[in-house]
Structure formats: structure tokens, C-alpha cells
Structure 1
Amino acid sequence: MGATFDISYVFQFIPKLLHTLGTTLFIVAGAMLLGLLFGFIAALPRLYKVPVLQRISQVYASFFRGTPILIQLFLFYYGLPEVLKLIGLDLSKAPVLFFVILTYGLHIGSYVSETIRSAVTSVDRGQVEAAYAIGMTGYQAFTRIVMPQALGIAVPVLSNVLIGLLKDTSLAFTLGVMELTGKSQTLASVTRHFIESYIALALVYLVISMILERLLLVAERRLLRHEKREDATEYSAFRRKSWLSLRLRLRSPRSIRLREEAQKP
């Protein structure tokens, strides 16, 4: 049984948890960078419909999206060194963070590949054809036209992926990594104040998630600022056109005659 609830322990635990915040953010940053790399590589065969690689990319995405992250952590931490020993590579002395970041990177990459694929295919193909018509190369059309629009579409989804990754790092303590959740478990075991420890942990995760969400929202607005301006311009033009059409109808001979007849006694 735990000790009697004492709210003061919540405020005592928060500074102690923040000492391990760097480890959690390091896992998030490293896994996100690897995820973007793996996701981009996995998305290319499906975008360009490369026969064999396209099937491999689909299997990769299905496996990492369809199995629990905890199972993936165990498979890579305990299984990968044994497999690599068959080809003469010894990873038994590799740090735990290596396997954790690699696993999370591959896991995130499966979601990033689907996000990139859907974002790129949502860009109007006519814009790319127009770019080719004015003499742009495929690389120029992708970097100047497709990629900026695809990023604006993908950022909201990537924001959810990043925040989900932050919460999934809580499973890294199962391999002995002393991150936020691992530190919270230690504090709870030592003091017997389990509820206070978990409340403090939840508050830390909540604040970090809100900060990341706000930063990503700013990035999303910045990437979509041109579209919003175009939408506002089109809406203003629509209002002016509607008002002008209404005035023309009111000044037409038929409208004038109807108003005159309605005013007759």
C-alpha cells in the first residue's frame, strides 16, 4: 500500500522529474529525425510505383503500424544483436538508447511515409505539368511547387505523430532507460507516494505537449500563410462581385418597374 496522499509531494517531484527531461527530449528528437528519413525513403517507391520496393515499403508500414511499440522495443533490443551476430557484428555492448531511438525511428517512419505519400498526391497535378511546361526540371518542380504545399498539408498530421511519440517514450523505461517515466517509477518506489508521482509526471507531459502543439501550430500557420491570403482575396472578390450583381439587378428596368407598381395605391 502507498503512503497517505500529500499534495506537497507533487511539487517536490516535478523538479526531480525535470532532471531526466533531457533524455526524453533526446529520444524524441533522435527518433523524429530518423523517422523523417525512413519515412521519406519508404514513401518514394510508393510515389513512383517501383515494383519490388513498393511491396517492401507496404510490408514495412504494415508491420510497424500494426504491432505494439512495446513488442518492437523487445524485438530490436533482444533480437537484433542475435541476428547481427550471424554476420559478424556484435552489438551486445551498444547503449540502450541506440536500440530505443532506432526502434522509435522505424516506428515513426511508417506513419511519416503514409503522411508524405498522401500529402504529395494531394497537390494538384496540373501545377506540376505547368511547371514542366515553363521549363522546370522534375527536381525544381518538386522543391519549389510540390514540397512547400505538401509540407503545409503534412504538418498537422506530423504534429499528432510527434506528440504521440512523446507519450510513447514512456515505454523506454521497460529497457532500463531513466527518462521521465522511469524516474517517476523510482520516486514512487522510494517514497511510496505513487499517486503524487504519477500526477507530477502527467503534469510534465501535459505542459511539454502543449508547448510542442503551440510551436507546431505556429509552423503550420507560417507554411499556410499564402493559402490563407489567397482565400481571403477570393472571398473579398466574391463579396464585391455579389454586391455589384445585386446593385445591377436593382437598377434593371424590370426591378424599377416592379418597385413603381408596388408603390402605387
Structure 2
Amino acid sequence: MGNLFSVEYMIKVFPQLLGYVHVTVMVTVVSAVLGILLGAGIAIVRLKKVPVLNQLLVVFISFMRGTPFLVQLFLIYFGVPEIMSHMGISTKHIPGLVFVYAVFTLHIAAYSAEIMRSSIDAVAVGEKEAAKSIGMTELQSYVRIILPQAFTMSIPPLTNLVIGMLKGTALIFNVGVVDMMRKADLMGGNSQRYLELFVDAAIIYAVLIIIVSLLGRLLEKRFTVAGRTARPVLISEE
């Protein structure tokens, strides 16, 4: 094995790990977009207190927030195909990564639903009344007035949620998906130099998290400015 830590080896294998970073990025981006959109829909249903559906969503959110993410990953990745096979539905043609996307999306949806629900509640009543007074339908008021403001207020906690999920992608190697961490583990088994490989992985994760944080700040700044310039338009129409 030689010396305890080899900077030369760390630099040498860095590009190989970087070649698998697209899996981490794709899982994070796709799941974040779908999860936040689904979470917004769940938040609206909960605020409207739709009978039966509201109660089911409360159970769903409680389950997703009250159980470890790794357990959810195993349940969906291994459990759903098992249930489907007992129903006579083959899942052999479905890539395993689809189930990974599903669990990340549902996990983000459960947390973002509560974030969005509190943000929608925080939108000033006057804004909602002003939208109604100029003849907007409920759907129009949500799309043009309420949701944009709620999303702006939600950006910081949603950014933290996405960062948490980005870190959570390190767990998908447990179900056999070859991502950056799985590649590091396999290479470490061959070279017995786990330390250098995991330092490389840590550097890549740190850079990705910094990028997500910066994007979150840019979004918050842009939406805040847009919200301030859009508000006088609503008043003038009134």
C-alpha cells in the first residue's frame, strides 16, 4: 500500500470519479423539480382540505418525514417491484434508476409540501383579495399572485432541502446503482486506497453544494426583485 496518503493517486483517479458525477446531478435535479412541483400541488390540496385526499396526504407526509431515507429507498427499490410481480406486472424492463428517482421525488415532495403550505399561508390576505377584486379566477390568482410569492419565500428552505437530497444521493450505491460513491468504493476495493478516493468524492460533493447554494441565492434575489416590480402592476389594475 505504501505511504498513508498519496496526493498523486488522488489526482490520478479524480477524473474517473468525475465521470460518474452526472448520475448524482441527474438524480438531484430531476427529483428536485418533480418533487417541488408535486409538493406545491400537495400543499394546495391540504390548504383546500379536500375530503379523504387531505387525510391520505397527511399520512403520506408523516410517513416520509418520520422514517429514515434509507428505509424508504429499500422499500421502493425492492418492495415496489416485488408487489408488482405478485400482481403479474413485470418490472424487468424498468431501469433501477427509475425507482431511485421515485423515492427521491416523493421524499422531496413530502418536505416541500409543508414548506410551500406555510409559505402560501404567509402570503398577505390583501394580495388574495386584490386578485379577486380585479376579476381573477382562483386558478389565475394562484398562478400569477400567490404561488410566485410563496415560492420566493420558500427558496431558502427549498435550497437546504435540495442540498440535503444531494448529500442523500451518496446512499444510492446501497441498491447497486453505480454513481460516484459506488465507483469510489469499487476502486477502493481494488487499490486499497479508500482515503484518497473518498477525499476526492468529498471535494466533488462540496463543489456541487456550493453551486446549489449560489443558484439558490441567485433565484431568491431574482424572484424578490421581480416580485417588487410586479406588485405595482396589480395595484394599478385595481
Name the structure 2 match of 1:146. 146
Name the structure 1 match of 2:88. 88
The secondary structure found in structure 1 opposite 2:70 is helix
Q: Is the Cα–Cα contact under 8 Å of residues 34 and 102 in structure 1 kept in the other structure?
A: no
Name the structure 2 match of 1:185. 185
The secondary structure found in structure 1 opposite 2:123 is coil
What is the TM-score with the length of structure 2 in the denominator? Answer: 0.90
Name the structure 2 match of 1:242. none
Report the CA distance between 1:107 and its aligned residue.
Answer: 0.9
- Aligned length in residues: 230
Name the structure 2 match of 1:61. 61
Query: 2:134 & 2:71 partners in 1: Cα distance?
Result: 51
Query: 2:190 & 2:65 partners in 1: Cα distance?
Result: 37
Q: In the alignment, is residue 213 of structure 1 matched against residue 213 of structure 2?
A: yes
Query: 1:38 & 1:87 partners in 2: Cα distance?
Result: 27
- Residue type of the partner of 2:57? S
**Shift >3 Å, 4+ stretches:** 226-230
Name the structure 2 match of 1:239. none
Quick check: which has more Rg, 1 or 2? 1
Name the structure 2 match of 1:19. 19
The secondary structure found in structure 2 opposite 1:5 is coil
Report the CA distance between 1:223 and its aligned residue.
Answer: 0.6
What aligned pairs does 1:2-17 form with structure 2 within 5 A after superposition?
4-17=4-17
Q: Which stretches in structure 2 are left out of the alignment for 5+ residues?
A: 231-238
Q: Is the Cα–Cα contact under 8 Å of residues 3 and 193 in structure 1 kept in the other structure?
A: no
Report the CA distance between 1:4 and its aligned residue.
Answer: 2.5
Report the CA distance between 1:159 and its aligned residue.
Answer: 0.6
Q: Is the Cα–Cα contact under 8 Å of residues 39 and 109 in structure 1 kept in the other structure?
A: yes
Q: Is the Cα–Cα contact under 8 Å of residues 6 and 196 in structure 1 kept in the other structure?
A: yes
Tell me how large the CA RMSD over aligned residues is.
Answer: 2.0
What aligned pairs does 1:164-203 form with structure 2 within 5 A after superposition?
164-203=164-203
The secondary structure found in structure 1 opposite 2:6 is coil
Q: Is the Cα–Cα contact under 8 Å of residues 152 and 220 in structure 1 kept in the other structure?
A: yes
- Residue type of the partner of 1:108? I
Name the structure 2 match of 1:134. 134
CA deviations 1:55-84 (Å, max 9, x no partner) are 111111111111111111111122111212
Query: 1:128 & 1:180 partners in 2: Cα distance?
Result: 46
Report the CA distance between 1:155 and its aligned residue.
Answer: 0.9
Report the CA distance between 1:227 and its aligned residue.
Answer: 6.2
Report the CA distance between 1:140 and its aligned residue.
Answer: 2.0
- Residue type of the partner of 1:220? E
**Percent identity of equivalent pairs:** 37
Report the CA distance between 1:143 and its aligned residue.
Answer: 1.8
Report the CA distance between 1:133 and its aligned residue.
Answer: 1.6
Query: 1:142 & 1:161 partners in 2: Cα distance?
Result: 23
Query: 2:143 & 2:66 partners in 1: Cα distance?
Result: 32
Name the structure 1 match of 2:78. 78
What is the TM-score with the length of structure 1 in the denominator? Answer: 0.81
Q: Which stretches in structure 1 are left out of the alignment for 5+ residues?
A: 231-265
Query: 1:59 & 1:134 partners in 2: Cα distance?
Result: 38
Query: 1:107 & 1:37 partners in 2: Cα distance?
Result: 12
Query: 1:73 & 1:141 partners in 2: Cα distance?
Result: 37
- Residue type of the partner of 1:216? G
Name the structure 2 match of 1:28. 28
Q: Is the Cα–Cα contact under 8 Å of residues 5 and 196 in structure 1 kept in the other structure?
A: yes
Q: Is the Cα–Cα contact under 8 Å of residues 149 and 227 in structure 2 kept in the other structure?
A: no
The secondary structure found in structure 2 opposite 1:224 is helix
